[in-house]
Amino acid sequence: MTKVYINGKLYDKNDAKISVYDHCLLYGDGVFEGIRVYGGKVFRLEEHVRRLYDSAKAIWLEIPMSREQVAEAVNRTVKVNDKKDGYIRLVVTRGAGSLGLDPRKTTDPQVIIIVDDITLYPPEFYEHGLEIVTAATIRNHPNALNPRIKSCNYLNNILAKIEGIRAGCVEALMLNHKGEIAECTGDNIFVVKRGVLWTPPIDAGILEGVTRNTVIELARADNIPVREAALLRHDVYVADECFLSGTAAEVVPVVKCDDRVIGTGKPGPITRALRERFHALTRE
């Protein structure tokens, strides 16, 4: 039976519960991280914990544990579940309170750690690539809710995801308020043009993905030029290659966008090379 960590205690999956008055449930008031486990080791835990605390600070949420204690709790939960390869969902809620938005009326923030399995895309998508479509739902305006905050309110992404699903795609591309490419509903996006790797910058309204940063590091280590710059849908349409990156998705090729074939219509050499390097980094 899967064990779930809640505020220092481990519960069986079916017994892991929080209050229905928790403001995370009532209003999406909380933050989270998705983290991977490879070979029994947590991947880039320090970076994920740092981003968790940055998100919490941005929404005036005080996590009732130190960073070291959170990291220790994550490792402990992975060990208890004997999970060699899997996915971690680390959540911090605002805590239970009265009805109404006022966070001052909440108490006892909940630190929750779930360790389980995840399969985002079937194997054939990694081999042959997937198709995406541009969603009409734009990314949250950074002056309304900064996308760099990984909050528990994911309705913006979910609405775009629904658009993709209704169009027959498993993922959808989201634009920012300026009409530029931001990211997909759960992944960052990269394109390759004439041997150069391009990706939207942080100020395009994206989450600064841990896997995104890892891919950039791997590309530069392999002497692949990397540019962070504003991109338009045109840049995806005329790209030689395209792929997505994310904690759950890892590195997955994209071969068609808005019914336009990208490059040869097959995963390109730089995409394949970076996917292999990422696989080697995480598995070895």
Residues recognised as catalytic: 150
Residue 122 CA: distances (Å) to CA of 127, 248, 260: 9, 12, 22
In the block, residue with structure tokens 């395009």: 204
**Secondary structure (DSSP) of 90-132:** EEEE--EE-SSS-GGGEE---EEEEEE----S-HHHHHH-EEE
Angstrom distance (rounded) from CA 175 to CA 170: 17
| Count of beta carbons in the 10 Å neighbourhood of residue 145 | 15
End-to-end CA distance of the chain: 28
Radius of gyration of the chain (CA): 19
